[in-house]
Amino acid sequence: MTNAILSEVHNQIMWNRLISVVEEQALTLIRTAFSTSVRESGDLSAGVFNRGGQMIAQAVTGTPGHVNAMAEAVGHFIRDIGPENIFEGDCYITNDPWKGTGHLHDFTVVSPSFRNGKLVGYFACTAHVVDVGGRGFGPDANEVYEEGIFVPIMKFAERGRVNKDLVNILHNNVRESHQVVGDVYALAACNEIGHRRLMDMMEEFGLADLETLAEFIFERSLEATLERIRALPKGSFANTMRVDGYGSPIDIAVRIDVGEEEITADFEGTSPPSPKGINCPLIYSTAYACYGLKCSLAPDIPNNYASLLPFKVTAPANCILNAQHPAPVSVRHVLGHLVPDAVLGAVHKMLPGRVPAEGAGALWNLHVSARPLSGDAAPADGGRRAEVLLFNSGGAGARSTLDGLNATAFPSGVHSMSIEATEHVGPVIFWRKELRDGSGGAGEFRGGLGQVVEISPTEGHEIYFNAMFDRVEHPPRGREGGEDGARGAVLLDDGTVLEAKGRQHVPAGRRLILQLPGGGGYGAPDKRDPQAAERDRAYDYVKAS
């Protein structure tokens, strides 16, 4: 065996080891986080970067919006802190929507990694926290200033000494300070674990730095990605998808241009910004547009700086997917999670049969503010105030050869919180969480089912919630003759229909019912296998015809 082959094998072993390092980094965050969105749902990202701030490897645990935005964010940290101000023992932080992951509820923490006094790279991680003050997690603000505390890129710790002034400011500007500050410390801790495991790895393999290994990873990832792109049909392929928006429909228009070594997704023609907080900073739109391209065209190539490099995203500064400061962006995920389906619609025109029908897309996040009643109706023990966050998923679109997945978070990939853990956080009761009858779009392959979630305050309490739901007016579309999935609905148990966006009230004694949308079907329903069609009817998977 030649030295060159041995070197290839050796580098591949180190690459796999590096992925194990960042996976332990991410799992440390899950084990130490306070918020259910992190420890129960995995709404996070973690990764290791070279000295230039280029992502070498990411943890498998995490969401595309966090991972791909974090991949760009580290460069902002290096530029804003300044190379001359980067010291061993430092830890940096921001929730800047335009330099982080798109809204104030996500904190990104970056820590430089030194070996023998020399900077060798960075660890970065991101997590969604339960509260950042302001109006709370909802779409009703008119400017980012209303949406909560804005922490610019700054030092959370310098040379190992935590910035207590910043911690005190956070404590006094958020509703759930013990959870939020606890999560920030958890973010810093997970980077520290990543650093320690990297030092163990570098000691074991005799590495002085990461640059040679990074070059090996980047060269192979880039070449593998370019090989896929070169094999694609060349030209332009466009798609437009209409979704609910807030007060008026939104058109997401995209054109993908395929060249020899590059693919560009251009969102010219997309609707202008909204006066409400459903706008997306470009960093987040880019993250999900690249995900839509990469998961359909090069899904098996590891995600890093080089494998993302051939995918370019542009959007006019006056469109809702490239919102400019100080636009409100609190629930930017509502449109951001719909971007991949828009991109996949264009990919379908290039490569029919490759991508699924449209699905529910955006998570139906439910952020509840529980409050005790006053006066004679007050609970005997005084009750409790709490902020409760729950992620819910509708149905995924059918694939060209398989039914869609039920109640599955595509494209975000997050888990739902456990009901028991959520009820422990605040005074709420879950009465139902079940698959929704008749919600899958019919087709040769059926769309995935949505779900029904029924929740109420405990006795002596009322709840307010910030609705941030889509696919209520414009359902997920079927593909190639498949039928649309079911529209979503928001209502009380007495039949009162509620708005799909904005702050609303659930009185004591009433229950909130969420009916999540189902995925679109693929192919004509009359082509469905008769036994599968009979099973659909028997189990109420599709609407009765």
* Residue of 383, 378, 328, 358 lying closest to 148 (CA atoms): 328
Q: What angle do CA 143, 146, 152 make, to 5 degrees?
A: 85
Contact 444, 528 (CB under 8 A): yes
Model-level pTM? Answer: 0.95
Give the integer Cα–Cα distance in Å for 250 and 262.
Answer: 28
Q: What pLDDT does residue 545 have?
A: 60
* Residue of 194, 189, 200, 264 lying closest to 48 (CA atoms): 194
Q: What pLDDT does residue 377 have?
A: 85
Q: What pLDDT does residue 1 have?
A: 43
Write the single-letter amino acid at 152.
P
Render each residue's pLDDT in the chain as its tens digit; 545 residues.
455 555 888 999 999 999 999 999 999 999 999 988 888 888 899 999 999 999 999 998 889 999 999 999 999 999 999 999 999 999 999 999 999 999 999 999 999 999 999 999 999 999 999 999 999 899 999 999 999 999 999 999 999 999 999 999 999 999 999 999 999 999 999 999 999 999 999 999 999 999 999 999 999 999 999 999 999 999 999 999 999 999 999 999 999 999 999 999 999 999 999 999 999 999 999 999 999 999 999 999 999 999 999 999 999 998 999 999 999 999 999 999 999 999 999 999 999 999 999 999 999 999 999 999 988 888 888 899 988 889 999 999 999 999 999 999 999 998 888 889 889 889 999 999 999 999 999 999 999 999 999 999 999 999 999 999 999 999 999 999 999 999 999 999 999 999 999 999 999 999 999 999 999 999 999 999 999 999 999 999 987 66
What residues contact 44, with CB distance under 8 A and at least 6 apart?
26, 29, 30, 33, 38, 61, 62, 63, 66, 125, 126, 127, 128
Structure tokens at 374: 């006053």
Residue 45 is given by DSSP the state E
Q: Beta strands of 450-494 (E only): which ranges?
A: 451-457, 461-468, 489-492
* Residue of 71, 73, 54 lying closest to 62 (CA atoms): 71
The CA distances from residue 26 to 178, 194, 266, 283, in Å, are 21, 9, 33, 22
Domain ranges of the chain: 3-221, 356-545
Q: What angle do CA 532, 536, 538 make, to 5 degrees?
A: 115
Q: What pLDDT does residue 5 have?
A: 53
Q: What pLDDT does residue 3 have?
A: 53
Determine how many CB atoms are found less than 10 A away from the CB of residue 132.
26
